[in-house]
Structure 1
Amino acid sequence: MGNLRKLDLNLLVTLDALLAEHNVTRAAERLHFSQPTVSVQLARLREIFGDPLLLPGPRGMRPTARAESLREPLRQALEALAGAVAPENPFDPASARHTWTLAATDYAESTLVQPMLPTLRASAPHTRLAVVELVPPRIEKQAEHGQIDLAFHTTEGSPPNLRRRALFTERYVLAGRAGHPRLKRRPTAAQFCALEHVIVSPDGGGFHGVTDTALAAVGLARRVVLSVPHFLFVLSVVANTDLVAMVPERLARQHAALRVVEAPVEVPGYEMSMLWHERSHRDPAHRWLRELIVASL
Structure 2
Amino acid sequence: MSTPDLNLLVTLDVLLSEGSVAKAARRLHLSPSAMSRALARLRETTGDPLLVRAGRGLVPTPRALELREQVSQLVQDAQALLRPVQAPDLGRLSRTFTLRTREGFVENFALDLIARINEQAPGVRLRFVEKTNNDSTALREGSVDLETAVVNKDTSPELRTQALFGDRLIGVVRAGHPLSLAEVSAARYAAGGHIGVSMRGLDQGPIDQALESLSLSREIVTTVPGFSSALGLARSSDLIASVPERYTASLRVGMHSFALPFAVPAFTIAMLWHPRMEADPVHRWFRGCLREVCARKTIEI
> What TM-score comes out, normalization by structure 1 length?
0.82
Residue 145 of structure 2 is matched in structure 1 by 149
Residue 63 of structure 1 is matched in structure 2 by 62
Please state how far the C-alpha of 1:73 moved relative to its aligned partner.
Answer: 5.5
Residue 3 of structure 1 is matched in structure 2 by 3
RMSD of Structure 2 on Structure 1 (CA): 3.2
Measure the CA separation in 2 of the matches of 1:275 and 1:117: 19
Measure the CA separation in 1 of the matches of 2:46 and 2:229: 72
Pair 1:199 & 2:196 matched? yes
Contact 1:178 1:258 in 2 (8 A): yes
Matched AA of 1:152: T
Give runs of aligned pairs for residues 1-297 of structure 1, distance below 5 A. 2-4=2-4, 7-9=5-7, 11-16=8-13, 24-25=19-20, 28=23, 32=27, 40-53=37-50, 60-64=59-63, 74-139=71-136, 141-156=137-152, 157-203=154-200, 205-254=201-250, 255-296=252-293, 297=295
Matched AA of 1:270: F
> What TM-score comes out, normalization by structure 2 length?
0.81
Unaligned runs of 5+ in 2: 296-301
Contact 2:50 2:60 in 1 (8 A): no
Please state how far the C-alpha of 1:258 moved relative to its aligned partner.
Answer: 0.8
Tell me the SS of whatever aligns to 1:138.
coil
Unaligned runs of 5+ in 1: none
Please state how far the C-alpha of 1:212 moved relative to its aligned partner.
Answer: 1.6
Change in 2 beyond 3 A, CA 1:263/1:36: closer
Residue by residue over 1:185-209, the C-alpha shift from the partner in whole angstroms, topping out at 9 and shown as x without a partner, is 2333332222111111111x33322
Residue by residue over 1:156-207, the C-alpha shift from the partner in whole angstroms, topping out at 9 and shown as x without a partner, is 243233222122221111111112234312333332222111111111x333
Matched AA of 2:209: T
Contact 2:91 2:121 in 1 (8 A): yes
Contact 2:160 2:275 in 1 (8 A): yes
Contact 1:24 1:38 in 2 (8 A): no
Question: Which segment is superposed worse, 237-246 or 129-138?
Answer: 129-138
Please state how far the C-alpha of 1:102 moved relative to its aligned partner.
Answer: 1.7
Contact 1:24 1:35 in 2 (8 A): no
Measure the CA separation in 1 of the matches of 2:245 and 2:272: 22
Please state how far the C-alpha of 1:278 moved relative to its aligned partner.
Answer: 2.4
Question: Which segment is superposed worse, 84-93 or 219-228?
Answer: 84-93
